């Protein structure tokens, strides 16, 4: 019994050591693609609210098309489809695919965050001679941030998990490393158990950070939602 | 100071402001009264282009208000507005509420705009609240900050849209006091109000509106005490 346990411990430790170098890649893919998603999502979210109808329509189309296609298919399309033409490497293709996909979800979050701020706030800023851009920048977006942070953080955690899909195009991140280990040593239970544990550690850590951020943002003086 | 000619503002088929013409002189205090839905607020909002209109002409201090709102920023610097629901910026302290537009619109430095803000807080009697946030203020205090915020851009005209309607009764006086002080300093003011006492005391002229039209206008003694029109009489018999 003790022998079995110690063997298992050694095995898990061995798997852990094998997987660990791939973890930074998972983090790097997640961070890069989410940074891209934030920028794109912010732009598309604001354009979605444009008073120029065709612009708002195109932004809406972007959101609906991207959200309507599985991420896995988008990864294939970008790596094999566009990648062939544009000569994209695995990392870039993976980051672009996950980034574009999440930008559509973030755009909707940002849009609703902006819309949640009352018309009165817009009118007050406009009546003070501010332009639409100044109104967004100084009045609306700072207030939206508070509303937008929790769902955005959830998307970040989701994108960390979805980065595992990039393993399918041969990008060597955590999930891919798990597959490699399995195909060398044929220990399926322990390998995937360990992969799962490592993802779990990362996501739990992140959600702790999110809780802390939410607290930090709610301390400031504007407790009441009413203006 | 303000010239309105044949102004029409529609929401769908309904004309909220229906062919209104009116002139307001510099330093005048004009109060608009009337039942709800009569177009008082809409008329007021047309004056600083918060509301687009379909036809007619508005000239404010020599600036023609463009129907498509192309010159609105020049216009809005001349015209300050105070709202029924205060609309203070809840994420900014009182002092920053008052300095924000000075800095980003008037391009004043922080020091200059804060000096101006402190001076205005003195005027509205809230010097000690500079660092508070809007959520920490009473309704009357919020509305006084809102007045200071609008004054910070040195407007030539002030618009007041039912600024005491959302206040508890004991706070109405403090806001009206500030408005009286402004009027005494010669500010041109257009006020939508239900405070008949204030109207009687402060207004140079009263406009009674109903169904988007000016039914009757004149000095308060004439309109309030001996109204000529049936609709004015009906309305006043309900509110007086």
pLDDT tens digit string along A206-222?
999 988 877 776 655 44
Q: How far is A116 from chain B (nearest CA, A)?
A: 14
Of residues B102, B225, B211, the one with CA closest to residue B154: B102
Helix (H) / strand (E) element for B95: namely: helix B94-104
Answer for the pair A97, A75: CB distance below 8 angstroms, yes or no: yes
Pick among B44, B79, B104 to test the A interface (most A CBs inside 10 A): B104
Record: contact A130-B105, CB cut-off 8 A: yes
Record: contact B135-A129, CB cut-off 8 A: no
Beta bridge partners of B17: B9
Report the range of poorest mean pLDDT among A22-31, B48-57, B126-135.
B48-57
Q: How confident is the model at residue A192 (pLDDT cuts 50, 70, 90)?
A: very high
Alpha helix positions (H), chain A: 2-19, 23-48, 53-67, 71-76, 83-86, 90-115, 119-127, 132-134, 141-162, 174-185, 188-219
Record: contact B83-A123, CB cut-off 8 A: yes
The pLDDT assigned to A227 comes to: 38
Record: contact B89-A121, CB cut-off 8 A: yes
Q: What percentage of chain A has pLDDT greater than the value 90?
A: 80
CB-based contact, B81 to chain A, within 8 Å: yes
Sort out which chain A residues have CB atoms less than 8 A from B44's CB and list them: none
Record: contact B150-A120, CB cut-off 8 A: no
The pLDDT assigned to A25 comes to: 95
Whether residue B185 has pLDDT greater than 60: yes
Record: contact A134-B48, CB cut-off 8 A: no
Radius of gyration of chain B (CA): 18
pLDDT digits (tens, 9 = 90+) for B150-160: 999 999 999 99
Residues 6+ apart with CB under 8 A from B149: A128, B88, B97, B98, B101
Sort out which chain B residues have CB atoms less than 8 A from A124's CB and list them: 83, 87-89, 146
Record: contact A128-B100, CB cut-off 8 A: yes
Enter the DSSP assignment of B142.
H
Record: contact A127-B81, CB cut-off 8 A: yes
3 state DSSP class of A89: coil
Beta bridge partners of A1: none
Q: Average pLDDT, stretch A121-131?
A: 93
The pLDDT assigned to A223 comes to: 45
Sort out which chain A residues have CB atoms less than 8 A from B76's CB and list them: 126-129
Of B91, B101, B134, the CB nearest to A128: B101
Residue A68 burial class via C-beta count within 10 angstroms: exposed 0-12, middle 13-18, buried 19 and up: exposed
- Phi/psi of residue A108, nearest 5 degrees: -65, -40
CB atoms < 10 A from the CB of B65, how many? 24
The pLDDT assigned to A216 comes to: 76
Q: Bigger pLDDT: B64 or A72?
A: A72
Whether residue A225 has pLDDT greater than 50: no
CB atoms < 10 A from the CB of B176, how many? 20
Report the range of poorest mean pLDDT among A17-31, A187-201, B24-38, B67-81.
B67-81
Strand order in the sheet with B55-60: B14-24, B2-11, B55-60, B63-64
Q: Please tell me the distance from the alpha carbon of residue A70 to that of residue A129, in angstroms, as a whole number.
A: 45
The pLDDT assigned to B69 comes to: 65
Q: Please tell me the distance from the alpha carbon of residue B101 to that of residue B150, in angstroms, as a whole number.
A: 9
Sort out which chain B residues have CB atoms less than 8 A from A127's CB and list them: 48, 50, 76, 79-81, 150
Answer for the pair A148, A110: CB distance below 8 angstroms, yes or no: yes
CB-based contact, B60 to chain A, within 8 Å: no
pTM: 0.81
Q: Bigger pLDDT: B195 or A39?
A: A39
Of residues B163, B166, B190, the one with CA closest to residue B177: B163
pLDDT digits (tens, 9 = 90+) for B187-223: 999 999 888 888 888 899 999 999 999 999 999 989 9
Averaged confidence pLDDT in chain B: 91
Residues 6+ apart with CB under 8 A from B51: B9, B42, B45
Count residue pairs from A and B with Cβ separation < 8 A: 81
Q: So what's the ipTM on this one?
A: 0.90
């Amino acid at each position: 019994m003790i022998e079995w346990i110690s063997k298992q411990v050694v095995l898990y430790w061995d798997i852990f050591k094998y997987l660990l170098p791939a973890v930074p890649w998972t983090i790097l893919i997640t961070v890069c693609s989410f940074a891209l998603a934030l920028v794109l999502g912010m732009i598309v979210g604001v354009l979605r609210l444009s008073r120029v109808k065709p612009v708002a329509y195109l932004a809406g189309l972007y959101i609906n098309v991207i959200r309507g296609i599985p991420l896995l298919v988008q990864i294939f399309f970008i790596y094999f489809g566009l990648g062939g033409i544009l000569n994209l490497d695995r990392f870039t293709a993976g980051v672009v695919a996950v980034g574009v996909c999440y930008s559509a979800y973030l755009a909707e979050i940002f849009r609703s965050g902006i819309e949640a701020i009352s018309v009165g706030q817009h009118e007050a800023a406009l009546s003070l001679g501010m332009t639409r851009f100044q109104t967004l920048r100084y009045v609306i977006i700072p207030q939206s941030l508070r509303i937008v942070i929790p769902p955005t953080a959830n998307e970040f955690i989701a994108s960390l998990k979805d980065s595992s899909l990039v393993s399918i195009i041969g990008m060597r991140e955590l999930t891919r490393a798990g597959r490699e280990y399995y195909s060398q040593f044929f220990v399926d239970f322990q390998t995937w158990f360990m992969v799962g544990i490592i993802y779990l550690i990362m996501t739990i850590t992140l959600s702790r950070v999110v809780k802390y951020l939410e607290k930090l943002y709610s301390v400031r003086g504007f407790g009441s939602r009413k203006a | 100071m303000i010239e309105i000619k044949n102004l029409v503002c529609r929401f769908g088929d309904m004309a909220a402001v229906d062919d209104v013409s009116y002139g307001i002189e510099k330093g005048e205090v004009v109060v608009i009264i009337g039942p709800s839905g009569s177009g008082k607020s809409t008329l007021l909002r047309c004056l600083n282009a918060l509301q687009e209109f379909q036809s007619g002409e508005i000239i404010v201090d020599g600036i023609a208000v463009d129907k498509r709102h192309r010159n609105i920023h020049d216009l809005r610097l001349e015209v300050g507005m105070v709202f029924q629901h205060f609309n203070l910026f809840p994420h900014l302290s009182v002092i920053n509420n008052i300095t924000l537009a000075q800095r980003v619109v008037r391009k004043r430095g922080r020091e200059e705009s804060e000096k101006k803000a402190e001076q205005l807080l003195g005027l509205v009697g809230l010097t000690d609240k500079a660092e508070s946030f809007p959520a920490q203020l009473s309704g009357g205090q919020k509305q006084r900050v809102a007045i200071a915020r609008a004054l910070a851009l040195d407007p030539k005209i002030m618009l007041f849209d039912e600024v005491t309607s959302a206040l508890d009764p004991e706070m109405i006086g403090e806001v009206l006091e500030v408005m009286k002080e402004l009027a005494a300093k010669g500010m041109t003011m257009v006020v939508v109000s239900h405070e008949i006492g204030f109207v009687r005391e402060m207004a140079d002229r009263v406009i009674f509106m109903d169904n988007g039209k000016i039914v009757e206008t004149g000095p308060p003694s004439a309109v309030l005490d001996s109204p000529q029109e049936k609709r004015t009489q009906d309305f006043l018999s309900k509110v007086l």
